[in-house]
Amino acid sequence: MSKAGTTPRRQSLIGDCAAAFVLLSRLPTGWHQFPADNPPNFTSALWAFPVVGLVIGSATGLTLSGAAALALPPLVAAALAVFVSLLLSGAMHEDGLADMADGFGGGHDAESKIRIMHDSRIGSYGVMALVLASLARAGLLIAASAQFAGMALVLIIALAHAASRFLPSLQLAIAPVSPHAKLASLTGHGGSLRMLAGLAIWALPLGFLFGWAAACSAALLCSVMAMGVAKLAQRQVGGLTGDVMGATIILGEMLFLASVIIIVELPLTNFEQGLFGA
């Protein structure tokens, strides 16, 4: 495996995608087999993390759109959509959010914080983080379904998931992996080209379809948040961990939806609005 700061071992594009799905989802990857002597390279796969988001987000958006078409109550539709997202991702990012909240909130030094984050039990900080995040996500999905419909709704949810999964590659570019990390030790800085490719996967469609104002605001806000969390983690536990990056994905998904919903509602020119923002 590639460690932080080393050059990522070369891997095919299909191998990158399969590695991304192995790490970030519970979806089967039988369409690509890794040889025993050549295991998945997650650093090489960083650019493909948003691809996983597109797939999970599309399923989430289709669930939300379908539930709305069946005239289910908005809260029920949003809950079903969140459930699908949790099912396909294995709730690993939510687990990271809870662990980071417990560790950063309850620990007194780096060692105690890491010990708490590695504990399988969940504390009061973690519970509150999950409750608040779940309420916020449901509320944002309800707001998105009120503003968008049909394919536009599916696309905006898919792009939100893709954008949030781009953020760990940005964090790995500016902060070291914590010496206490487990899962995060399998990743490192993948290089500028991989980061730009991951950005293009979601930012270009967002700009063309929903307006460049939405794309720029979402990219800026999510990036600032991700860098802030990375710097906080560096002070708290010496660098990035899998829990920190998982929490960043959840926060990024919410911030993306909030920023796009606000920006698309503003009176903009047709060029700024894009296809679905017009």
Domain interval for residue 149: 13-273
Would 70 be classed as within a structural domain?
Answer: yes
* 156 assigned to some structural domain: yes
What's the pLDDT at 154? 96
The yes-or-no verdict on residue 99 having pLDDT over 80 is yes
Residue 267 pLDDT exceeds 80 = no
DSSP 278: -
Residue 208's CB is within 10 A of a number of other CB atoms, namely: 13
Structural tokens at position 165: 């999964």
The stretch 164-187 carries a mean pLDDT of 88
The answer to whether residue 142 is domain-embedded is yes
pLDDT given at position 265: 75
Q: Is residue 159, in this structure, part of any structural domain at all?
A: yes
Q: Which two tokens stand for residue 249?
A: 């994905």
Q: Is residue 246 part of a domain?
A: yes
Written as six digits, the tokens of 69 are: 């078409």
- Smallest CA-to-CA distance from 140 within 71, 209, 218, 212 is with 218
With H, G, I as helix, E, B as strand and everything else as coil, classify residue 177: strand
User: Is the pLDDT reported for residue 128 higher than 90?
Assistant: yes
In a domain, 8, yes or no: no
Total count of domains within the chain: 1
Task: Say whether pLDDT at 5 is over 60.
Answer: no
The position carrying tokens 């911030």 is 255
Q: Mind listing the pLDDT tens digit for each residue in 213-231? A: 889 999 999 999 999 999 9
Query: DSSP for 133-172?
Result: HHHHHHHHHHHHHHH--HHHHHHHHHHHHHHHHHHHHHHH
Other CB atoms within 10 A of residue 160 CB? 31
Neighbouring C-alpha atoms within 13 Å toward the C-beta of 185: 6
Domain for residue 240, yes or no? yes
At residue 186, does pLDDT exceed 80? Answer: no
- Residue 126 reports pLDDT greater than 90: yes
- Average model confidence (pLDDT) across the chain: 90
In sequence order, what DSSP letters do the residues of 102-134 get, joined into one string?
HHHHH-SSHHHHHHHHH-SS--HHHHHHHHHHH
Residue 278 lies in a domain: no
Q: What is the pLDDT of residue 184?
A: 67
